Structure 1
Amino acid sequence: MAFGFLTSLRGKIVATVGLLVAAGLLVLSATNVYTARSHALESLDSQTRALSRSHAAGVGDWVSARKQVVVSFAGAVPEADPIKFLQQAKIAGDVDTAYIGFADKHTAFSSPQELPPDYDPTSRPWYQLAAKESGPVVTDPYLDAGTKKLVITFASAVKDGAQVSAVTALDVFMDGVVRNVASIRPTPGTYGLIVGKDGKIVVHEDTALAMKPITDIAPSLGAGGLEALVGAAGLRDVTIRGENRLVYAEPIPGSNWILLVALNRAEAMRGVTALVWSAAAWSVAIAVMTVLVIGGILSTLLGRLLVLRNAMQDIGSGEGDLTQRIPTEGNDELAAIATGFNQFVEKTQGVLRQVRSSADGVATASAEIAQGNHDLSARTEQQA
């Protein structure tokens, strides 16, 4: 009887061992990958948090410094000629323009401005916003028509009791903030952006998105999604422009802005991905080597079993040589089976010898009886 590899005892043992080894390696690899992924995310979260806080603090310091400047020249309001104070404030704050809007609707600027005759500072958003607050305020950014750069206004109300006598203000190009955010590039596919708490984009590498809703590029950050991201205090999966990204949110001190750092997930998890492929390759290699080694060992250990099988098949077919014996070296089950088989063959051989001897005796007796009958028949014929 012929046996296929998987129907033989050796094949079944090899297959079983191979499956067990593969399953064990799969569980081990999955555990290692999960652990590595968790550690990688923790490390990535920590690094991104430190990076975000550093840049947010830098922007916060930038905002704080200009708030101090806009408050500092409030003493110029009662001056007959405040221009020199405004010029000093412009230099100190490194701003585009410093100016004062008075309640009587006249203005003073650090440099000449071409304004319409009916220009009324009290009707401007920066004036009205500052008049409502007790401290310095920051307006939403807007694109300067001439330079196409982002500009914001810092303003602070000067009050006489409950009445606003004037509002000091600074127009500031956001170049420094834009450069700060643009430098957030830990990986080629990572970038930063600043979003207002009202959900409008303040700074983005694509300047065309300035002051547009964040939901235009990240729908999940609407309807409380932005607040939830800030409250999460860690990396979260966010789809931005159709790409799955890991995003960290850090409020910027002294402002209503939030710094978002959007990591390219594939780049960020590249190490874990490489580990997965490496673990898979090693698992396959180890499983194959294990099967080959186990197969070789079993071929050696079970070689006598094949000899025993062939001998029994020969005897069963009636063509066996009962003078042959199976080697019984070793002290295992196969040696015991070989010894038992040899004893069985020896006893069978003895029985057959006895049968043959008995058959020879019967043949001799039969011949003698036949000869006696022949002699008796001959004598009977002679007497007749």
Structure 2
Amino acid sequence: MFNSLRLRLLLATAAVIATALIINAAISYFTLRHHNDQQVARNLAAVAQGNGLAISEWIDARVDMLEALAPVAQSDDPLAALQQLEASGGFISAYLAYPEDGRGVFSDGWIPPADYDPRQRPWYLQAVEAGETIVTEPYVDASTGGLIVTIATPFHANGRLVAVGGGDIAIGEIVNNVGEIAPTPNSFAFLVTADGTLVAHPDPEMTLEPASRLTSAFGAGYFSGPIGVEHPVRLALGGRDKWLRSVPIGGTDWQLVVALDEREATAGLRAVLSNALVTLVMVVLGAALVLGAMLKLMFRRLQTVRDAMTDIASGDGDLTQRLPEGGSDEVAQIAGAFNRFVSRIESVMLTIRDASESVTVAAGEIASGGQDLSRRTENAASSLQQSSASIEQITSTVEHTADSARHASELSQSASSVATRGGEVVGQVVATMQEITASSERIGNIVKVMDGIAFQTNLLALNASVEAARAGEQGRGFAVVAGEVRQLATRSAEASREIRGLIEASSHKVANGTELVQQAGTTMEELVAGVSRVAKVLSEISVAASEQSDGIGQVNVAVAELDRMTQQNAALVEESTVAAEQLKEQADRLAEAVSGFKLSERRLALAQA
């Protein structure tokens, strides 16, 4: 629906016009509404103040009449003045009450009963308490059933209260006047006291009812002061929105409230808004019709260009067609630019066709060379894999040899340690033998001493025997002991000789053992030296084997890296071959696509030349 440029321009222009008119209408509406609200507020204030002033003047006139009784309040016969006040002021009754004796004088000649004391009446008490003229709350007259109020004022002389004058007056006229206040058909007014009691209302049943029956917003204290003085108060009364404005009634605590119907007050404003909307629709429709006709004329040539471009785009891609360039407007400029564009496209197509043919040939050669290089790369990769396998076997053998050499070196080092410990043990044995020899010599010396002691003992025993023999019978016991001692000395000497023989034999054997042990120690030292040399040689062999294994491992890593690079080269060659084949296919498709365009013979000849 919105594919047409003309339709989009038409809708956009209509939208702009409508927006401008809506903005203008909105500004006008809000301006008129502001002025209308101000005018309504002024009119509402004028209605309230005018009617409130009339009610105030009516009450003020009666108050002035009552206060005019001051000169006759102390006269002996005020009845004539009271009757005149009743007749001229429209009072139902006028009267005076005196504070000294409670006497009362009434204009209608009413004689109160004996128990009647005017000083206890509410109007009397309120006037005395206020010290000025008061107007009582409205109440229903028992005799007439009408709504009346009492106006009362205190009279003073020389600062002393001399009497209180009062008058009952019907306010039916005020109620009727309030009921007739209707600025619009659904607007009305009502009179209310400060405590919210309705004095006058268009509905007679609402008289003396609380104002809260009209709406819950009229709560306690709501009418303690004027409402809507600066701006009318908006409330719903009777199911319709009202604008409220009140004015106080002079001399009372009453307020006259005018309730203006909002819908009726703004009827003119809504009419203006409706007219503005109708005008807006008519202007937009008219502008759309005029603009549509203008766009139809303007787009006729553009449609011609569109049809020609459609012919070029359809069919076999004929690039020999050209658009008419008549005129100098934007359409002609579009046609000229399109013709130049088609000419450049035609030249580009010729160049692309030639280039695609060259690319096809080059891609074929690249693919052929890539396949040959791929085969050779695969052969090289296979050879490298075989070399890598052989090197891995050599590496495994060398690593095994290095492990064996390390194991032999460890065994030789262990044997060297054992031989060293054996040499140390032999040395310790030689030292022990030498100590045994020294001990044997010391024992031999001790035995010699023991042998000498035995010999001396034997001599002593012999001498003792000789002495015992000399002693005769008395020395026989001593001779026996000496004989025993000599025998013991003899056996000790024999034992000493045997021990000396054994010690000499042991010393000889120990000497032979020491010599043999010394020879064994020399042999062990030579063995340790030989084992150390063997361990050193095996350690050198192990180090050399490890270095050889590391070198072969590095060669293996290099061969593996070379194999990986060869495989990568093979993969790259394959990718290059595939890319060359794809390039050839793309060039073939490009040539096929270019062949789908119809080119001018002259340009084709120039391109082939």
Q: Do they fold alike, i.e. is TM over 0.5? A: yes
Q: Bin the TM-score by the shorter chain.
A: 0.7 to 0.9
Q: Which one of 292, 295, 305 corresponds to residue 298 of structure 1?
A: 295
Q: Show CA shifts across 1:264-307 (max 9, x none).
A: 11111100111111112222222222223222222221222222
Report the counterpart of residue 243 of structure 2 in structure 1.
Answer: 246
Q: Which amino acid is the alignment partner of residue 54 of structure 2?
A: G
Q: Tell whether 2:339 aligns with 1:337.
A: no
CA contact (8 A) 2:141 2:147 kept: yes
Report the counterpart of residue 281 of structure 1 in structure 2.
Answer: 278
**Alpha-carbon distance in 2 for matches of 1:297, 1:228:** 67
Q: Tell whether 2:341 aligns with 1:93.
A: no
CA contact (8 A) 1:154 1:171 kept: yes
Which is worse superposed, 83-92 or 160-169? 160-169
Q: Show CA shifts across 1:59-92 (max 9, x none).
A: 1111111111111123333333322111011122
TM-superposed CA distance for 1:215, in Å, is 1.9
CA contact (8 A) 2:223 2:255 kept: no
CA contact (8 A) 1:220 1:239 kept: no
Identity of aligned residues (%): 31
Q: Rate the CA distance shift 1:223–1:179 in 2: closer, same or farther, 3 A.
A: closer
Which is worse superposed, 314-323 or 51-60? 314-323
Report the counterpart of residue 64 of structure 1 in structure 2.
Answer: 60
Q: Rate the CA distance shift 1:88–1:330 in 2: closer, same or farther, 3 A.
A: farther
TM-superposed CA distance for 1:201, in Å, is 1.6
Report the counterpart of residue 362 of structure 1 in structure 2.
Answer: none
Report the counterpart of residue 135 of structure 1 in structure 2.
Answer: 132
Report the counterpart of residue 354 of structure 1 in structure 2.
Answer: 602
Q: How many residues align?
A: 355
**Alpha-carbon distance in 2 for matches of 1:11, 1:83:** 97
Q: Rate the CA distance shift 1:166–1:285 in 2: closer, same or farther, 3 A.
A: same
Q: Which one of 16, 21, 24 corresponds to residue 28 of structure 1?
A: 24
TM-superposed CA distance for 1:199, in Å, is 2.1
Q: Which amino acid is the alignment partner of residue 191 of structure 2?
A: I
**Alpha-carbon distance in 2 for matches of 1:38, 1:275:** 13
TM-superposed CA distance for 1:130, in Å, is 0.7
TM-superposed CA distance for 1:171, in Å, is 0.6
Q: Show CA shifts across 1:190-236 (max 9, x none).
A: 22211222222222122222222222213223255435753633322
Q: Which amino acid is the alignment partner of residue 62 of structure 1?
A: W
CA contact (8 A) 1:234 1:249 kept: no
1:1-384 aligned at under 5 Å gives the runs 5-103=1-99, 104-113=101-110, 116-159=113-156, 164-227=161-224, 230=227, 232-318=229-315, 328-341=325-338, 352-354=600-602
**Alpha-carbon distance in 2 for matches of 1:194, 1:273:** 31
Instruction: Give the structure-1-normalised TM-score.
Output: 0.82
TM-superposed CA distance for 1:324, in Å, is 8.4
Where is the helix percentage greater, Structure 1 or Structure 2? 2
CA contact (8 A) 2:62 2:89 kept: yes
TM-superposed CA distance for 1:34, in Å, is 0.6
Q: Which structure ranks higher in relative contact order (CA pairs < 8 Å, sequence separation ≥ 6)? A: 1
TM-superposed CA distance for 1:96, in Å, is 1.5
**Alpha-carbon distance in 2 for matches of 1:106, 1:181:** 38
- Larger-Rg structure: 2
Report the counterpart of residue 528 of structure 2 in structure 1.
Answer: none
**Alpha-carbon distance in 1 for matches of 2:129, 2:16:** 74
Where is the strand percentage greater, Structure 1 or Structure 2? 1
**Alpha-carbon distance in 2 for matches of 1:107, 1:114:** 8
TM-superposed CA distance for 1:13, in Å, is 1.8
Q: Rate the CA distance shift 1:189–1:342 in 2: closer, same or farther, 3 A.
A: same
CA contact (8 A) 2:182 2:188 kept: yes
**Alpha-carbon distance in 2 for matches of 1:327, 1:91:** 109
* RMSD, matched Cα: 3.0
**Alpha-carbon distance in 2 for matches of 1:229, 1:276:** 34
Q: Show CA shifts across 1:153-174 (max 9, x none).
A: 1001224566544321111111
Helix, strand or coil at the partner of 1:186 = coil
CA contact (8 A) 2:74 2:162 kept: no
TM-superposed CA distance for 1:138, in Å, is 0.4
Q: Show CA shifts across 1:115-145 (max 9, x none).
A: 5542222221111111112211100111223
Helix, strand or coil at the partner of 2:272 = helix
Q: Which amino acid is the alignment partner of residue 71 of structure 1?
A: E
Instruction: Give the structure-2-normalised TM-score.
Output: 0.53
Q: Rate the CA distance shift 1:179–1:233 in 2: closer, same or farther, 3 A.
A: farther
Helix, strand or coil at the partner of 1:291 = helix
Q: Show CA shifts across 1:296-346 (max 9, x none).
A: 222221222222112111222228999987554543221211234466789
**Alpha-carbon distance in 1 for matches of 2:260, 2:337:** 73
Report the counterpart of residue 373 of structure 1 in structure 2.
Answer: none
What are structure 1's unaligned runs of at least 5 residues? Answer: 359-384
Helix, strand or coil at the partner of 2:276 = helix
CA contact (8 A) 2:325 2:336 kept: yes
Q: Show CA shifts across 1:338-378 (max 9, x none).
A: 23446678997x953537999xxxxxxxxxxxxxxxxxxxx
CA contact (8 A) 2:244 2:258 kept: yes
